[in-house]
Amino acid sequence: MRDETKVLLTIERDRQTRTMHALLIIALLCLITAFFAILNLGLGTVHYSPLEIIRSFFRGGNVDTYVIVMDYRFPRIALALLVGAALATSGVIAQSVLRNPLASPSTLGISGGSGLAALITSMFFSSMGPFIISLSAFAGGGLVALAIYLFAYEKGVAPIRLAIVGVAIGAFCSAGIQLLVAKSGDNVSIALMWLSGSLWGRTWEQVWQITPIILVILPIAWLLAIRLNIMRLGDSVATALGLRVEVTRFLLLTCSVLLASAAVSAVGLIGFVGLVAPHMAKKIMGSRHQFILPTAALLGALLVLVSDYLGRALIPPIEIPAGLITAAIGAPYFLYLMWRESRKGSSI
Protein backbone atom coordinates (compact mmCIF):
# COMPACT_ATOMS: atom_id res chain seq x y z
CA MET A 1 0.00 0.00 0.00
CA ARG A 2 2.74 2.38 0.94
CA ASP A 3 4.62 1.44 -2.22
CA GLU A 4 1.65 2.36 -4.31
CA THR A 5 1.40 5.77 -2.71
CA LYS A 6 5.08 6.28 -3.26
CA VAL A 7 4.74 5.41 -6.94
CA LEU A 8 1.78 7.72 -7.32
CA LEU A 9 3.70 10.50 -5.61
CA THR A 10 6.69 10.01 -7.88
CA ILE A 11 4.44 10.11 -10.94
CA GLU A 12 2.78 13.24 -9.64
CA ARG A 13 6.11 14.92 -8.92
CA ASP A 14 7.42 13.84 -12.30
CA ARG A 15 4.39 15.35 -13.96
CA GLN A 16 4.86 18.59 -12.07
CA THR A 17 8.50 18.91 -13.08
CA ARG A 18 7.59 18.24 -16.69
CA THR A 19 4.88 20.88 -16.52
CA MET A 20 7.39 23.32 -15.05
CA HIS A 21 9.83 22.51 -17.85
CA ALA A 22 7.14 23.04 -20.45
CA LEU A 23 6.13 26.39 -18.98
CA LEU A 24 9.77 27.47 -18.86
CA ILE A 25 10.28 26.62 -22.50
CA ILE A 26 7.12 28.50 -23.45
CA ALA A 27 8.29 31.56 -21.49
CA LEU A 28 11.68 31.35 -23.17
CA LEU A 29 10.05 31.17 -26.60
CA CYS A 30 7.94 34.22 -25.74
CA LEU A 31 11.11 36.14 -24.93
CA ILE A 32 12.86 35.09 -28.13
CA THR A 33 9.80 36.04 -30.16
CA ALA A 34 9.61 39.46 -28.50
CA PHE A 35 13.32 39.99 -29.15
CA PHE A 36 12.94 39.21 -32.85
CA ALA A 37 9.81 41.33 -33.09
CA ILE A 38 11.71 44.37 -31.82
CA LEU A 39 14.69 43.59 -34.05
CA ASN A 40 12.31 43.34 -36.98
CA LEU A 41 10.70 46.67 -36.16
CA GLY A 42 14.08 48.35 -36.34
CA LEU A 43 14.88 47.05 -39.81
CA GLY A 44 14.08 49.18 -42.83
CA THR A 45 15.28 52.11 -44.86
CA VAL A 46 15.74 53.92 -41.57
CA HIS A 47 17.31 51.79 -38.85
CA TYR A 48 16.23 52.09 -35.25
CA SER A 49 17.91 50.67 -32.20
CA PRO A 50 15.79 48.45 -29.94
CA LEU A 51 15.89 51.17 -27.29
CA GLU A 52 14.35 53.76 -29.59
CA ILE A 53 11.61 51.33 -30.52
CA ILE A 54 10.72 50.49 -26.95
CA ARG A 55 10.66 54.20 -26.17
CA SER A 56 8.35 54.87 -29.11
CA PHE A 57 5.87 52.31 -27.71
CA PHE A 58 5.29 54.72 -24.86
CA ARG A 59 5.11 57.72 -27.18
CA GLY A 60 8.51 58.86 -25.97
CA GLY A 61 11.14 60.20 -28.32
CA ASN A 62 10.81 61.38 -31.88
CA VAL A 63 7.34 61.75 -33.47
CA ASP A 64 8.63 60.49 -36.83
CA THR A 65 9.89 57.34 -35.18
CA TYR A 66 6.50 56.79 -33.62
CA VAL A 67 4.68 57.21 -36.92
CA ILE A 68 7.03 54.98 -38.87
CA VAL A 69 7.15 52.25 -36.27
CA MET A 70 3.49 52.20 -35.31
CA ASP A 71 1.82 52.96 -38.63
CA TYR A 72 4.09 51.23 -41.10
CA ARG A 73 6.16 48.57 -39.40
CA PHE A 74 4.01 47.38 -36.56
CA PRO A 75 1.12 46.00 -38.65
CA ARG A 76 3.58 43.88 -40.56
CA ILE A 77 5.02 42.39 -37.39
CA ALA A 78 1.58 41.85 -35.91
CA LEU A 79 0.57 40.01 -39.07
CA ALA A 80 3.69 37.84 -38.98
CA LEU A 81 2.93 36.82 -35.41
CA LEU A 82 -0.77 36.17 -36.02
CA VAL A 83 -0.25 34.30 -39.26
CA GLY A 84 2.55 32.14 -37.91
CA ALA A 85 0.59 31.20 -34.80
CA ALA A 86 -2.55 30.48 -36.80
CA LEU A 87 -0.83 28.30 -39.39
CA ALA A 88 1.10 26.30 -36.80
CA THR A 89 -1.98 25.68 -34.65
CA SER A 90 -3.95 24.70 -37.72
CA GLY A 91 -1.18 22.25 -38.60
CA VAL A 92 -1.15 20.64 -35.15
CA ILE A 93 -4.88 20.05 -35.35
CA ALA A 94 -4.70 18.70 -38.91
CA GLN A 95 -1.91 16.26 -38.04
CA SER A 96 -3.62 14.99 -34.91
CA VAL A 97 -7.10 14.70 -36.38
CA LEU A 98 -5.91 13.00 -39.56
CA ARG A 99 -3.42 10.99 -37.52
CA ASN A 100 -0.89 11.61 -40.26
CA PRO A 101 2.48 13.28 -39.70
CA LEU A 102 2.54 14.56 -43.29
CA ALA A 103 -0.74 16.44 -42.98
CA SER A 104 -0.80 20.22 -42.93
CA PRO A 105 -3.38 22.94 -43.58
CA SER A 106 -2.89 22.36 -47.29
CA THR A 107 -4.08 18.75 -46.88
CA LEU A 108 -7.39 20.23 -45.81
CA GLY A 109 -7.52 22.17 -49.07
CA ILE A 110 -6.64 25.60 -47.71
CA SER A 111 -3.72 26.58 -49.89
CA GLY A 112 -5.25 25.15 -53.07
CA GLY A 113 -8.70 26.59 -52.49
CA SER A 114 -7.64 30.04 -51.32
CA GLY A 115 -4.92 30.25 -53.96
CA LEU A 116 -7.33 29.44 -56.76
CA ALA A 117 -10.01 31.81 -55.48
CA ALA A 118 -7.55 34.66 -54.97
CA LEU A 119 -6.02 34.13 -58.39
CA ILE A 120 -9.39 34.12 -60.15
CA THR A 121 -10.46 37.26 -58.32
CA SER A 122 -7.23 39.10 -59.01
CA MET A 123 -7.38 38.20 -62.68
CA PHE A 124 -10.99 38.94 -63.46
CA PHE A 125 -11.85 41.62 -60.94
CA SER A 126 -8.46 43.27 -60.73
CA SER A 127 -9.96 46.67 -59.92
CA MET A 128 -11.58 45.51 -56.73
CA GLY A 129 -8.65 46.03 -54.40
CA PRO A 130 -6.98 43.90 -51.77
CA PHE A 131 -9.97 43.48 -49.48
CA ILE A 132 -11.96 41.55 -52.07
CA ILE A 133 -8.98 39.32 -52.81
CA SER A 134 -8.56 38.54 -49.12
CA LEU A 135 -12.23 37.85 -48.78
CA SER A 136 -12.32 35.52 -51.76
CA ALA A 137 -9.21 33.70 -50.52
CA PHE A 138 -10.89 33.14 -47.17
CA ALA A 139 -14.11 31.98 -48.79
CA GLY A 140 -12.27 29.79 -51.30
CA GLY A 141 -10.30 28.01 -48.60
CA GLY A 142 -13.42 27.38 -46.57
CA LEU A 143 -15.43 26.15 -49.54
CA VAL A 144 -12.79 23.73 -50.74
CA ALA A 145 -12.32 22.41 -47.22
CA LEU A 146 -16.05 21.86 -46.96
CA ALA A 147 -16.08 20.14 -50.35
CA ILE A 148 -13.30 17.79 -49.18
CA TYR A 149 -15.23 17.02 -46.02
CA LEU A 150 -18.41 16.27 -47.93
CA PHE A 151 -16.66 14.15 -50.54
CA ALA A 152 -15.02 12.15 -47.79
CA TYR A 153 -18.22 11.80 -45.75
CA GLU A 154 -19.75 8.37 -45.69
CA LYS A 155 -21.25 7.46 -42.32
CA GLY A 156 -18.62 9.66 -40.74
CA VAL A 157 -15.27 10.78 -42.03
CA ALA A 158 -12.51 8.22 -41.83
CA PRO A 159 -9.21 10.14 -41.46
CA ILE A 160 -7.48 8.19 -44.24
CA ARG A 161 -10.31 8.94 -46.67
CA LEU A 162 -10.19 12.61 -45.72
CA ALA A 163 -6.45 12.69 -46.35
CA ILE A 164 -6.73 10.98 -49.73
CA VAL A 165 -9.56 13.19 -50.91
CA GLY A 166 -7.69 16.22 -49.58
CA VAL A 167 -4.57 15.36 -51.54
CA ALA A 168 -6.60 14.76 -54.71
CA ILE A 169 -8.59 17.99 -54.48
CA GLY A 170 -5.45 19.90 -53.56
CA ALA A 171 -3.76 18.63 -56.70
CA PHE A 172 -6.84 19.55 -58.69
CA CYS A 173 -6.74 23.12 -57.38
CA SER A 174 -3.05 23.49 -58.01
CA ALA A 175 -3.58 22.30 -61.58
CA GLY A 176 -6.12 25.10 -61.90
CA ILE A 177 -3.62 27.56 -60.44
CA GLN A 178 -0.95 26.46 -62.90
CA LEU A 179 -3.36 26.77 -65.78
CA LEU A 180 -4.29 30.32 -64.79
CA VAL A 181 -0.70 31.35 -64.15
CA ALA A 182 0.43 29.93 -67.49
CA LYS A 183 -2.39 31.70 -69.31
CA SER A 184 -2.54 34.99 -67.50
CA GLY A 185 0.41 36.74 -69.12
CA ASP A 186 0.53 40.28 -67.77
CA ASN A 187 -0.75 39.81 -64.25
CA VAL A 188 1.58 36.91 -63.59
CA SER A 189 3.97 38.69 -61.30
CA ILE A 190 1.27 39.93 -58.93
CA ALA A 191 -0.20 36.47 -58.76
CA LEU A 192 3.20 34.86 -58.24
CA MET A 193 3.96 37.31 -55.46
CA TRP A 194 0.71 36.43 -53.74
CA LEU A 195 1.26 32.72 -54.26
CA SER A 196 4.65 32.86 -52.62
CA GLY A 197 3.31 34.61 -49.55
CA SER A 198 4.61 38.03 -48.71
CA LEU A 199 4.14 40.46 -45.86
CA TRP A 200 5.05 43.40 -48.04
CA GLY A 201 2.81 46.46 -47.92
CA ARG A 202 0.40 45.17 -45.29
CA THR A 203 -1.44 47.74 -43.24
CA TRP A 204 -3.57 47.82 -40.12
CA GLU A 205 -6.54 47.02 -42.36
CA GLN A 206 -5.36 43.42 -42.89
CA VAL A 207 -4.51 43.08 -39.22
CA TRP A 208 -8.02 44.08 -38.15
CA GLN A 209 -9.51 41.72 -40.73
CA ILE A 210 -7.97 38.61 -39.26
CA THR A 211 -7.37 39.47 -35.61
CA PRO A 212 -10.91 38.73 -34.41
CA ILE A 213 -11.06 35.31 -36.05
CA ILE A 214 -7.64 34.23 -34.88
CA LEU A 215 -7.96 35.56 -31.36
CA VAL A 216 -11.29 33.81 -30.92
CA ILE A 217 -10.29 30.48 -32.43
CA LEU A 218 -6.86 30.08 -30.80
CA PRO A 219 -8.29 29.83 -27.23
CA ILE A 220 -11.05 27.52 -28.44
CA ALA A 221 -8.44 25.27 -30.01
CA TRP A 222 -6.52 25.26 -26.75
CA LEU A 223 -9.62 24.32 -24.81
CA LEU A 224 -10.11 21.40 -27.18
CA ALA A 225 -6.53 20.22 -26.63
CA ILE A 226 -7.50 17.41 -24.25
CA ARG A 227 -9.84 16.05 -26.89
CA LEU A 228 -6.97 16.11 -29.35
CA ASN A 229 -4.99 13.91 -26.94
CA ILE A 230 -7.85 11.44 -27.04
CA MET A 231 -8.52 11.69 -30.78
CA ARG A 232 -4.95 10.70 -31.51
CA LEU A 233 -5.54 7.33 -29.91
CA GLY A 234 -7.89 6.27 -32.69
CA ASP A 235 -11.62 6.42 -33.27
CA SER A 236 -12.56 3.29 -31.35
CA VAL A 237 -10.56 4.20 -28.25
CA ALA A 238 -11.93 7.73 -28.33
CA THR A 239 -15.49 6.43 -28.62
CA ALA A 240 -14.90 4.02 -25.77
CA LEU A 241 -13.69 6.92 -23.63
CA GLY A 242 -16.98 8.66 -24.23
CA LEU A 243 -16.00 11.16 -26.88
CA ARG A 244 -18.47 12.02 -29.62
CA VAL A 245 -15.86 11.45 -32.28
CA GLU A 246 -17.62 12.75 -35.37
CA VAL A 247 -18.77 15.98 -33.74
CA THR A 248 -15.37 16.63 -32.15
CA ARG A 249 -13.63 15.95 -35.44
CA PHE A 250 -15.87 18.40 -37.27
CA LEU A 251 -15.32 21.03 -34.58
CA LEU A 252 -11.55 20.62 -34.64
CA LEU A 253 -11.36 20.65 -38.41
CA THR A 254 -13.47 23.80 -38.50
CA CYS A 255 -11.04 25.51 -36.12
CA SER A 256 -8.10 24.39 -38.24
CA VAL A 257 -9.68 25.54 -41.49
CA LEU A 258 -10.74 28.93 -40.11
CA LEU A 259 -7.29 29.64 -38.72
CA ALA A 260 -5.44 28.68 -41.86
CA SER A 261 -7.76 30.45 -44.28
CA ALA A 262 -7.67 33.62 -42.19
CA ALA A 263 -3.87 33.52 -42.28
CA VAL A 264 -3.70 32.82 -45.99
CA SER A 265 -6.27 35.48 -46.82
CA ALA A 266 -4.07 38.15 -45.25
CA VAL A 267 -0.64 37.26 -46.57
CA GLY A 268 -0.92 34.66 -49.32
CA LEU A 269 0.47 31.16 -49.32
CA ILE A 270 3.09 30.75 -46.64
CA GLY A 271 3.81 27.06 -46.81
CA PHE A 272 5.72 24.77 -44.57
CA VAL A 273 4.97 26.57 -41.28
CA GLY A 274 1.88 24.43 -40.78
CA LEU A 275 3.87 21.29 -41.52
CA VAL A 276 7.07 21.85 -39.63
CA ALA A 277 6.15 23.94 -36.56
CA PRO A 278 3.90 21.17 -35.17
CA HIS A 279 6.71 18.63 -35.54
CA MET A 280 9.18 20.87 -33.78
CA ALA A 281 6.70 21.47 -30.98
CA LYS A 282 6.09 17.74 -30.57
CA LYS A 283 9.79 17.01 -30.47
CA ILE A 284 10.19 19.60 -27.73
CA MET A 285 7.03 18.96 -25.74
CA GLY A 286 6.14 15.31 -26.06
CA SER A 287 2.53 14.34 -26.49
CA ARG A 288 0.37 16.64 -24.38
CA HIS A 289 -1.56 18.98 -26.65
CA GLN A 290 -2.12 21.53 -23.89
CA PHE A 291 1.57 22.33 -24.26
CA ILE A 292 2.08 21.41 -27.90
CA LEU A 293 -0.46 23.95 -29.12
CA PRO A 294 1.04 27.09 -27.52
CA THR A 295 4.58 25.93 -28.30
CA ALA A 296 3.71 25.32 -31.93
CA ALA A 297 1.96 28.69 -32.14
CA LEU A 298 5.03 30.46 -30.77
CA LEU A 299 7.38 28.53 -33.02
CA GLY A 300 5.21 29.30 -36.02
CA ALA A 301 5.13 33.00 -35.17
CA LEU A 302 8.89 32.95 -34.69
CA LEU A 303 9.47 31.16 -37.99
CA VAL A 304 7.44 33.68 -39.97
CA LEU A 305 9.02 36.58 -38.11
CA VAL A 306 12.57 35.39 -38.71
CA SER A 307 11.77 34.58 -42.35
CA ASP A 308 10.39 38.05 -42.87
CA TYR A 309 13.45 39.55 -41.22
CA LEU A 310 15.85 37.54 -43.36
CA GLY A 311 13.84 38.22 -46.50
CA ARG A 312 14.32 41.93 -45.94
CA ALA A 313 17.83 41.88 -44.53
CA LEU A 314 19.58 39.62 -47.04
CA ILE A 315 19.73 41.77 -50.17
CA PRO A 316 18.16 45.17 -49.43
CA PRO A 317 16.35 46.96 -50.95
CA ILE A 318 14.97 43.83 -52.66
CA GLU A 319 12.54 41.84 -50.55
CA ILE A 320 12.36 38.09 -50.74
CA PRO A 321 8.81 36.93 -49.86
CA ALA A 322 8.61 35.39 -46.41
CA GLY A 323 6.85 32.33 -47.83
CA LEU A 324 9.97 31.40 -49.77
CA ILE A 325 12.25 31.84 -46.79
CA THR A 326 10.11 29.75 -44.44
CA ALA A 327 10.81 26.72 -46.59
CA ALA A 328 14.42 27.65 -47.19
CA ILE A 329 15.26 27.87 -43.48
CA GLY A 330 12.55 25.55 -42.17
CA ALA A 331 13.55 22.61 -44.33
CA PRO A 332 17.22 22.35 -43.31
CA TYR A 333 16.35 22.93 -39.67
CA PHE A 334 13.71 20.25 -39.78
CA LEU A 335 16.14 17.80 -41.35
CA TYR A 336 18.70 18.65 -38.70
CA LEU A 337 16.11 17.97 -36.03
CA MET A 338 15.34 14.61 -37.59
CA TRP A 339 19.01 13.77 -37.79
CA ARG A 340 19.67 14.69 -34.18
CA GLU A 341 16.65 12.74 -33.08
CA SER A 342 17.84 9.69 -34.98
CA ARG A 343 21.23 9.92 -33.23
CA LYS A 344 19.46 9.48 -29.94
CA GLY A 345 18.17 6.22 -31.34
CA SER A 346 14.46 6.88 -31.27
CA SER A 347 12.63 6.18 -34.48
CA ILE A 348 10.89 8.88 -36.41
* Residues at the site binding other proteins, with contacts judged by CB under 8 A: 101-102, 151-152, 154, 160-161, 164-165, 167-169, 171-172, 174-176, 178-179, 181-183, 185, 188-189, 192-193, 195-196, 271-272, 275-276, 318, 320-321, 323-328, 330-332, 334-335, 338-339, 342-343, 345-348
Looking at the Cβ atoms of 3 and 154, the one nearer to other proteins is 154
CB of 128 to other proteins, least distance (A): 23
Q: Which CB sits closer to other proteins, 137 or 157?
A: 157
Q: Decide: 274 and 98 in contact? Cβ < 8 Å.
A: no
Q: Are 270 and 304 in contact (CB under 8 A)?
A: yes
> 297, 89 in Cβ contact below 8 A?
yes
Look up residue 70 and give its DSSP letter. I
CA distances from 236 to 178, 231, 232, 241 (A): 41, 9, 11, 9
Give the shortest CB-137-to-other proteins separation in angstroms: 18
Nearer to other proteins among residue 102 and residue 216 (C-beta): 102
Q: List, in sequence order, the alpha helices (H) in 196-244.
A: 204-223, 225-231, 235-240
**Which residue, 298 or 325, has its beta carbon nearer to other proteins?**
325
How far apart are CB 179 and other proteins at their closest, in Å?
A: 5
Nearer CB in complex with other proteins: 111/134: 111
Residue whose CB is less far from other proteins, 91 or 271: 271
Phi, psi of 10 (to 5 degrees): -60, -45
Tell the smallest beta-carbon distance from residue 161 to other proteins (Å): 5
Whether the CB-CB separation of 227 and 153 falls below 8 Å is answered with: no
The alpha carbon torsion through 130, 188, 270, 318 (nearest 10 deg) reads: -90
CA distance 48 to 324: 26
To the nearest whole angstrom, how small is the minimum distance from the Cβ of residue 158 to other proteins? 9
Left (φ > 0), alpha (ψ -120 to 50) or beta: where does 112 sit? alpha
Amino acid in position 222: W
- CB 215 to other proteins: min, Å: 29
Q: Is the dihedral of CA 29, 307, 328, 207 positive or negative?
A: positive
Please identify, using beta-carbon distances, which residue of 128 and 160 lies nearer to other proteins: 160
> Helix 204-223 crosses helix 245-267 at what angle (to 10 degrees)?
160
Shortest Å distance, C-beta 126 to other proteins? 17
The residue (of 168 and 215) whose beta carbon lies closer to other proteins is 168
Give alpha helix (H) positions in 68-129. 74-98, 110-124
- Could you tell me the smallest distance in angstroms from the CB atom of residue 29 to other proteins? 22
Give whole-number Cα distances, 214 to 86, 112, 191, in Å: 7, 20, 25
